[in-house]
Amino acid sequence: MKKLIFATNNKGKLKEMQLLLPNIEIISLNDINWTEEIDEPFDTFHENALIKAVTIFKATQLPVLSDDSGLCIHALNGAPGVHSAYYGGHPRTDQKNINKVLEELDGVAQREAYFKAILCLIWDGQVHYFEGNVDGRIANSPMGEDGFGYDPIFVPEGYQESFAQLPMDIKNKLSHRAIAVQQLLTFLNA
Where do contacts with ligand ITT occur on this chain (CB under 6 A)?
Answer: 8-10, 13, 40, 52, 67-71, 84-85, 97, 115, 147-151, 163, 175, 177
Tell me the HSE value of 70 on the side-chain side, using a 13 A CA sphere: 22
- Considering beta carbons, is residue 22 or 41 the nearer one to ligand ITT? 41
Q: What is the pairing mode between strands 112-123 and 24-28?
A: unpaired
Q: What is the smallest separation between the CB atom of 159 and ligand ITT, expressed in angstroms? A: 14
- Considering beta carbons, is residue 41 or 107 the nearer one to ligand ITT? 41
- Considering beta carbons, is residue 69 or 165 the nearer one to ligand ITT? 69
How far is it, in rounded angstroms, from Cα 147 to Cα 177?
A: 13
How far is it, in rounded angstroms, from Cα 190 to Cα 187?
A: 8
Q: What is the smallest separation between the CB atom of 189 and ligand ITT, expressed in angstroms? A: 25
CA-based nearest residue to 147, from 134, 160, 162: 162
Q: What is the smallest separation between the CB atom of 1 and ligand ITT, expressed in angstroms? A: 23
Q: What is the smallest separation between the CB atom of 49 and ligand ITT, expressed in angstroms? A: 8
Active-site pick, 31, 39, 67, 68:
68
- Considering beta carbons, is residue 46 or 128 the nearer one to ligand ITT? 46
Q: CA separation (Å) from 94 to 46, 88, 116? A: 23, 8, 17
- Catalytic residue flag (residue 68): yes
CA-based nearest residue to 4, from 23, 186, 178, 183: 23
Give the number of other Cβ atoms within 10 Å of residue 114's Cβ.
20
Residue nearest to ligand ITT (CB): 149
Active-site amino acid positions: 68
